Amino acid sequence: LAKTTQPISMDSYEGQEVNITCSHNNIATNDYITWYQQFPSQGPRFIIQGYKTKVTNEVASLFIPADRKSSTLSLPRVSLSDTAVYYCLVPDNNAGNMLTFGGGTRLMVKP
Amino acid sequence: GAGVSQTPSNKVTEKGKYVELRCDPISGHTALYWYRQSLGQGPEFLIYFQGTGAADDSGLPNDRFFAVRPEGSVSTLKIQRTERGDSAVYLCASSQGQGEKLFFGSGTQLSVL
């Protein structure tokens, strides 16, 4: 079973900021949190990774509170092309630290 | 090309047949992963190679599934006596090592009729 829980779907409009929160209550001390994006008919694509506090790159920001039991992916000013499935992953310590995908969050950006 | 390449992109076969799916990882990546994805679900881990050896094959659903990576580069996923339930997208990913960022191919859509 995936170790993360995230909303099944979200809707937004172009130009808005989108925040997707993921819970990972059993995250281990050394685990990083990684987010992937997947478009139809493509494999997932790495977006961002973080351990604590805040990480920002050209695509997104990742906010991680002090207890690290959740994380929030923030997409600034989304466009139609951001419509995709977003996966939050932490290593599965019961499966050799493999990255186990859950169902992800289906983000629909509307005009 | 610099990305992960998977062939064929689509494979249609009949129940009971044997199929091979190929993955060409990014050059220099020592880790290679196979995942399977059904419609509307996230990718499901199948097997992980570190170099030539299968470091973790705990995700293979049964003994009809087998994968090899004889020279530590290209990998082949082999499915014997295919069943309709095997229909899915089979994704391959590579990385510089375990725990490193995964780079996925576009997958092979397998349809078992």
Q: What is the pLDDT of residue A63?
A: 97
Cβ–Cβ contact B60 with A under 8 A: no
Q: What is the pLDDT of residue A101?
A: 86
CB contact under 8 A, B56 and A44: no
Q: Give the distance from residue B74's alpha carbon to the nearest chain A alpha carbon, in angstroms.
A: 18
Cβ–Cβ contact B44 with A under 8 A: yes
Tell me the pLDDT tens digit for each residue of A26-55.
888 888 999 999 999 999 999 999 999 999
Cβ–Cβ contact B79 with A under 8 A: no
Nearest to B43 among A46, A95, A101 (CB): A101
CA distance A35 to A48: 5
Asked if B75 contacts B69 with a C-beta cutoff of 8 angstroms, the reply is yes
Phi-psi region of B52 (alpha: psi -120 to 50; beta: other; left: phi over 0): alpha
Closest CA to A60 of A39, A44, A36, A42: A36
Closest CA to A2 of A97, A65, A92: A92
Q: How confident is the model at residue A1 (pLDDT cuts 50, 70, 90)?
A: very low
Nearest to B93 among A43, A91, A100 (CB): A43
- The DSSP result for B31-52, as a single string, is EEEEEEE-TTS--EEEEEEETT
Q: Give the distance from residue A43's alpha carbon to the nearest chain B alpha carbon, in angstroms.
A: 5
Tell me the pLDDT tens digit for each residue of A82-94.
999 999 998 876 6
- pLDDT by residue for chain B (113 residues), tens digit each? 589 999 999 999 999 999 999 999 999 999 999 999 999 999 999 999 999 998 899 999 999 999 999 999 999 999 999 999 999 999 999 999 877 899 999 999 999 99
Q: What is the pLDDT of residue B1?
A: 53
